Structure 1
Amino acid sequence: MTLWAIWFFRNKKVWDNKIVTPDFAVNWSLKQLQEWKIAVSKVIDSSKRPTTVIRREGTKWTRPEQGKLKVNVDASIEQGSSCYSIGMILGDHTGGFLEGKTMKFSRMATVMEAEASAIEEALEWIVSKGVTEVLVESDSQLAVQAINGNASFQLEVGHNIDSCKSILAVRKDICVRHVRRLANRAAHCMARIPCELNACVNVMIPPRKVLDSVVYDASIDE
């Protein structure tokens, strides 16, 4: 939590030119940690209570099988801005957060283009990390169908789709599937983490909003 506070206030200095004292940063991080502990205790307590609520299938993140990994990926387009961001999270069968990554691109993009680009970046990230047996999840049904289908795409997303298909043709241990948006909330939060244009941020400790989603996903079974 302290490391995340340092990173957070560093961004405040870079982007908003706001400077805080070390004492303020430490006290703020301790307060955030206490609030997080309270939030976690509420989630755990609520999971123990009997409930009659019926969840729609696929509305919650599910853990991969033991020995396999999962990457959730999402894109976020800033309204009125000529840029978009993508976020991805690598998790395991325990529901643990292994690593995250966010990227920001300074170019206009349609929703389909941004989502297809996000899946492509996620696949390239997996390959670069050398991990195997990975399930990639995206809440873009159109992009997932295009990647898993046989049709050729000549639109603006054609090169992204073809790139994804090429990777999957070689890596049979990687598959891509669609999930509902509610099952992809942590990746959505990751895509909204501040990042410099045309750059990426590798995240080893999840920020608070991402952490809240990860804890929720790991604490309550379907």
Structure 2
Amino acid sequence: MVLNSGKEWVLHLLARINETQRMMVMMVLWRAWHVHNELTHDKPAPPIEASKRFLCSYVDTLLMIKQFPEADACKGKQVISYSGRRATHKAKDQEPKTMKQWSRPQRGRLKLNVDGSYMQGTGQAGAGMVLRDDRGEVIFTACRSLQNCASALEAELASCHEGLKLALVWSAEPIDLEMDCATAVTMLLSNENNHSSLVHLIRDIKAGLGERDVAIKKIDRSQNVAGHIMAKRGREARLTQFWFRNFPDVLTDVVRKDCNSVAT
């Protein structure tokens, strides 16, 4: 609540809040000035929802760059802190990290791997989906170029939505759905009401999860190589393609390696 309504109310407000909150206030004022200029020049004002998504994506990216300067901004999967304090991690060099490998699903189940790819600078995004059986054989692979995608998280959820829809159409068995975005998995498993701009996408995915026995799980990125390659293909080549009982040549080595993994 703004307690001071004088000429310097903005300065009083900024003095009372932390650095992260100060940045958010300035971003909102900057966007308001942009909308004001659009109206001044007889242009239609951007929809409120579009401004909200733009600001949320921009703020998330700025915080991630500040808190994780060596992270991959295209994936945007680090958990950022909104408290104004730098997010910290426990030391990882105490013991060597073991690269986990994709594993076949249990007998009678299918495994759906999905991944999203998003480039902040250009707004280009893609989704990748791979469905395999308990022998590691491919049922389908697909990639999709995502239009009007505002964030890495939206790309992840879009890949989950598209992959699940395809899996429900092209198969009849129970499905293990795997993705390497912890935030997306948490949202989909939560029973709390979601009030973000992605609420409709989340609702559609949850509806699909209820149509069959679908178990959703967060995995390491090293276990999702096939999904990652397909998502990157959709983004970089701006392609939307589907292969039934087949896959593009770029996946040949990955599928062969995964197929030889031990079933769990």
Same fold (TM over 0.5): yes
Amino acid at match of 1:207: P
Aligned: 1:136 with 2:177:
yes
Which one of the candidate residues 191, 201, 222 is aligned to 1:182?
222
* More helix as a share of residues: 1
CA distance in structure 1 between the aligned counterparts of 2:257 and 2:217, rounded to whole angstroms = 22
Counterparts of residues 43-192 of structure 1 (less than 5 Å):
56=98, 59-171=100-212, 173-192=213-232
Matched positions, count? 166
Amino acid at match of 1:140: C
Query: How many angstroms does 1:110 deviate by?
Result: 1.0
Query: How many angstroms does 1:68 deviate by?
Result: 1.2
Gaps of 5+ in 1: 1-53
Query: Which residue matches 1:5?
Result: none
Amino acid at match of 1:138: M
Residues 194 and 111 of structure 1: is their aligned pair in 2 closer, same or farther, counting only changes over 3 Å?
A: closer
Query: How many angstroms does 1:174 deviate by?
Result: 1.5
3-state SS of paired residue (1:119)? helix
Query: How many angstroms does 1:79 deviate by?
Result: 4.6
Q: TM-score of the superposition, structure 1-length normalised? A: 0.67
Asked which structure has the greater RCO (Cα within 8 Å, sep 6+), the reply is 1
Query: Which residue matches 1:47?
Result: none
Query: How many angstroms does 1:210 deviate by?
Result: 1.5
User: CA contact under 8 A between 2:104 and 2:262: conserved in structure 1?
Assistant: no
Q: Deviation per CA, 1:43-77, whole angstroms, max 9, x where unpaired?
A: xxxxxxxxxxx8738x2111011121111000111
Q: Deviation per CA, 1:184-207, whole angstroms, max 9, x where unpaired?
A: 01110111225775x620124322
Q: Deviation per CA, 1:156-204, whole angstroms, max 9, x where unpaired?
A: 2211111111222332x1221111100001110111225775x620124
CA distance in structure 2 between the aligned counterparts of 1:116 and 1:80, rounded to whole angstroms = 20
3-state SS of paired residue (1:192)? helix
Q: Deviation per CA, 1:91-117, whole angstroms, max 9, x where unpaired?
A: 111111221011112213211111111
User: CA contact under 8 A between 2:234 and 2:240: conserved in structure 1?
Assistant: no
3-state SS of paired residue (1:193)? helix
Query: How many angstroms does 1:209 deviate by?
Result: 2.9
